[in-house]
Amino acid sequence: MKINKRLILSFVAPFMILMCLIGLIFRDKTKKIFYFPIGLMGIAIILERGVSRKLSRENILRKINSYKKINK
């Protein structure tokens, strides 16, 4: 059975956030700062996916509506 690469990549951002939280909880005070960029990148990836999905849906809907106007 083939493993879908998109399925694996969909778990990367939540794993990055989880790793950040674990690092912030269990590390020394001096090393906690190194986990902030990992968490921020995970959050940025999730937000970017949501925004791009919304924009692509709006674009598809706009194309459908323009096609309907042409055919009337």
So what's the pLDDT on residue 21? 93
Residues 6+ apart with CB under 8 A from 15: 42
Distance CA 43, CA 60 (A): 26
> What's residue 60's pLDDT?
92
The residue range of the domain holding 52 is 5-71
Tokens of residue 64, six digits? 């459908």
Rounded alpha-carbon distances, angstroms, from residue 69 to 60, 62, 63: 14, 11, 10
Residue for token pair 């509506």: 65
- SS3 for 55? helix
Whether the model pTM is above 0.85: no
pLDDT in tens, the chain (72 residues): 567 777 777 888 999 999 999 999 998 888 888 888 999 999 998 899 889 889 999 999 998 888 877 766
Structural domain total, the chain: 1
